[in-house]
Amino acid sequence: MSNNMPAYRNPALSIKERVTDLLGRMTLQEKVGQLIMWDARPDDLSFVNTRQPGSVLHVLGDKLGRIMDLAAQNRLGIPMLVGEDCIHGHSFWKGANIFPTQLAMAASWHPDMLEKVARMTAEEAIYTGVHWTFSPVLCLTRDLRWGRVGETFGEDPYLIGEMAAAMIRGYQGKGLDDPTAILATAKHYAGYSETQGGRDASEADISQRKLRSYFLPPFEKAVQAGAMTFMTGYQSMEGQPSTVNHWLLTEVLKEEWGFEGVLVTDWDNVGALVKSQRICADYAEAAVVAIRAGNDIMMCTPEFYEGAIEAVNSGRLKEEEIDGPCARLLALKFRMGLFENPRRPDLQKAAVEIGKPEHVAVNLDMARQSLILLQNDGLLPLDADKLTSIAVVGPNADDDLQQLGDWSLGAWQYPKEAGKHPREKTVTVLDGMKTAAPAGVQIKYAPGCSIVNNDLSGIPAAVEAAKDTDVIVAVVGDHHQYLGETLSTATLELMGGQKALLDALAATGKPMIVVLVNSKPMVLPASANNAAAIIEAFNPGMQGGQAIAEAIFGQLNPSGKLTVSVPVHVGQQPVFYSQVRGQHGERYADLTQEPLFPFGHGLSYTQYTYSNPRLSADTLKSGQSVDVLVDVENSGQRAGVEIVQVYVSDLVTSATWVNKALKGFARVALQPGEKKTVTVNLPWESFRIVNAQGEIVVEPGEFEIQVGPSSRDSDLLKVKMVIEE
């Protein structure tokens, strides 16, 4: 090691020593630059040397290599941290595997599979130069009109925490210095999904107690799982944008939970303090409040550079206050080994790794396990011996873009000139049906209608095709124009001509299978609700069409379960299962409050019988756990996988609390006639509530443990236990 080498370049020193040395060499301008994440899409790369940002996003491949070269020419040669939206796959790299969306994957109730998906996403992203993905999303689904429902894991805090922890482990691999790992981001911290009227980033009416009760537990789980970056939300709460909420960002995240990573704002959140939320008069003031609240990296607010420098020069902010977040970011870069290996793009390696067969196989397996059989009168699986022809109709039957969903090439996040993923990479429902259909079974196709307009001219052709076939597979859902960030909807009804199409198909009298390719639950017309079968696929990714066809023909026995409740009517919002007790009445005067399909619901081609629920102990003392045991038998004729769900109900609480809350689940594979005893452990934390003082406590008294195949009360077996004083 050269004696002239600065200490921060010496990997033999401790990270603390290296950070201290480097920070002591930096000018104010260099420190402020490190705190900015820069949008690198424009062709002009002069910002790398004039602003010296610590991180960039939306740049990959050869261009990223040029940026890294420019960064190495800066006085101190601090390496770049490179972020990208690898949301359910390497979203915007042409030809990468696009997996099912979060909401679809969550329906598998299979954390190990989600960990595999995240691992393979990292393996496809790293060779294009990515260090950091802005995933997973830990927001709770509340109002289904919100455009970002499909990005969530659903409506339950416990399930979200389990799924998020799995993806964090997958992304981050063996550790921060693992060259095949990318940083995970827990977002949006916290409460962003509690919207008014489903409108994106509207004021969220959430108290600190409500945050602690429902919105914060998944994020605490993310810290425990080792997430090294968090991202703030766009919304404000109790008059404070989350970007300036010191209690949330510093007191809870960094001090109470001991989070040692970096906190990044969402896109231009610091700018929004001036431009839209208007709680700051200028960027100097915005820089002061953002730094003091606990933010470490300011995403895509270039004005922060001049604002922070002005704030220090005018005495409104001390330079030492810049040192704190800068040190956190530098420590992360040292821990990742970027000073020794900046992890440059390797496009030759990328060409080998991206989309390789092993990854495609996992993509298909994930799609298979994500499918939910919502309804079946016995038509499914189809008996090929009794078929001569099938009509595959509907606007989403052969639309690869809608099948991939949001956060993929072709969605709104990238310009149209960026193109979309190669068509041959995606197996649509029509593709899958043609491949899976037995010899001699003809597949007829007609799109029937559009989702984005009311053109009904294609319906007669679809009806004509249906009349001459044995069964109809109608593939309907939503469209990119009606989902995603800023794109909430006022209704949940099927858009365009889809209702008219389904009505016309139902009128033929032919048995109909409705396949839903959609970003979130939708309100279905009577013609769909009365169909012989309904399969919910959400956005099932590139291999979704094959999985759906396998389920229709019986090569696959569906096992997915809903992680969101499906409403009867949009006016039921919010319809999530864990409602707080105490309302007057159990229904609307004009409508049920029950969902059409509840959280946890999902059918199979076999039947499962639950019996003999019991506990390892009927009395608990402080700190103890309890095992919940139940016998589950496959009483049908096919092998299958059942997802056993365990809910806890604290029967008397000092503050109002939910009627029941999911606290455990297990996947069990059963052959026909096989019975197994399923055991789910409930740790002491399963019995916590947040009392009226905002304290997280376990209160003594009687509890009801509920176990069954869904959250619907009539599906659950119940047994009681007591927690002693």
Q: How confident is the model over 126-178, as pLDDT tens digits?
A: 999 999 999 999 999 999 999 999 999 999 999 999 999 999 999 999 999 99
CA 60 to chain CA centroid, Å, is 23
Strand order in the sheet with 229-232: 185-189, 229-232, 262-264
User: How far is the C-alpha of 196 from the C-alpha of 193, rounded, in Å?
Assistant: 9
- Span 518-544, mean pLDDT? 98
- Span 74-102, mean pLDDT? 97
Confidence label for 413 from pLDDT (cuts 50, 70 and 90)? confident
User: How far is the C-alpha of 576 from the C-alpha of 152, rounded, in Å?
Assistant: 14
DSSP H stretches of helix in 86-211? 102-106, 111-125, 157-172, 208-210
Given a cut of 70, is residue 3 above it in pLDDT? no
Instruction: Enumerate helices (H) and strands (E) in the chain, giving the number of each.
Output: 22, 26
Q: Which residues pair with 675 in a beta bridge?
A: 633
Closest-CA residue to 293 (of 252, 338, 337) = 252
Could you please report the per-residue DSSP string of 406-435?
SSSBTBTTS-GGG--S-GGG---HHHHHHH
Q: pLDDT (tens digit, 9 = 90+) per residue, 586-618?
A: 999 999 999 999 999 999 999 999 999 999 999
Backbone angles phi, psi at 114, to 5 degrees: -65, -35
Q: Which residues pair with 132 in a beta bridge?
A: 83, 183
Contact 377, 471 (CB under 8 A): no
Q: What percent of the chain has pLDDT over 90?
A: 97
Long-range Cβ contacts of 456-461 (<8 Å, 24+ apart): 456/497, 456/500, 456/501, 458/497, 459/497, 459/500, 459/501, 459/504
Q: What percent of the chain has pLDDT over 70?
A: 100
Q: pLDDT (tens digit, 9 = 90+) per residue, 309-346?
A: 999 999 999 999 999 999 999 999 999 999 999 999 99
Contact 197, 143 (CB under 8 A): yes
Given a cut of 80, is residue 108 above it in pLDDT? yes
| Cβ neighbours for 460, distance < 8 A, ≥ 6 positions apart | none
The pair of structure tokens assigned to 576 is 């999530």
Contact 275, 304 (CB under 8 A): no
Confidence label for 260 from pLDDT (cuts 50, 70 and 90)? very high
The pair of structure tokens assigned to 260 is 């040692």
If you average pLDDT over every residue of the chain, what do you get? 97
Q: How many CB atoms lie within 10 A of CB 196?
A: 11
Question: Measured between alpha carbons, how far is residue 239 from residues 46, 243, 385, 581 in Å?
Answer: 38, 12, 64, 28
Question: Measured between alpha carbons, how far is residue 74 from residues 48, 52, 66, 77, 475 in Å?
Answer: 8, 7, 13, 5, 55
Q: Are strands 675-682 and 626-634 parallel, antiparallel or unpaired?
A: antiparallel
| Cβ neighbours for 251, distance < 8 A, ≥ 6 positions apart | none
Contact 718, 661 (CB under 8 A): no
Q: pLDDT (tens digit, 9 = 90+) per residue, 622-678?
A: 999 999 999 999 999 999 999 999 999 999 999 999 999 999 999 999 999 999 999
Contact 124, 89 (CB under 8 A): yes
Please report the domains of the chain, with CATH numbers, ordered by start residue. Answer: 28-87+129-166+179-349 (3.20.20.300), 358-564 (3.40.50.1700), 608-723 (2.60.40.10)
| Cβ neighbours for 51, distance < 8 A, ≥ 6 positions apart | 33, 36, 38, 302, 305
User: How far is the C-alpha of 53 from the C-alpha of 34, rounded, in Å?
Assistant: 5
Question: Measured between alpha carbons, how far is residue 656 from residues 207, 641, 651, 661 in Å?
Answer: 14, 36, 11, 13
The Cα angle at residue 649 between residues 642 and 722, in degrees rounded to 5: 110
pTM of model > 0.85 = yes
Q: pLDDT (tens digit, 9 = 90+) per residue, 148-160?
A: 999 999 999 999 9
Q: pLDDT (tens digit, 9 = 90+) per residue, 264-318?
A: 999 999 999 999 999 999 999 999 999 999 999 999 999 999 999 999 999 999 9
pLDDT of residue 416: 84
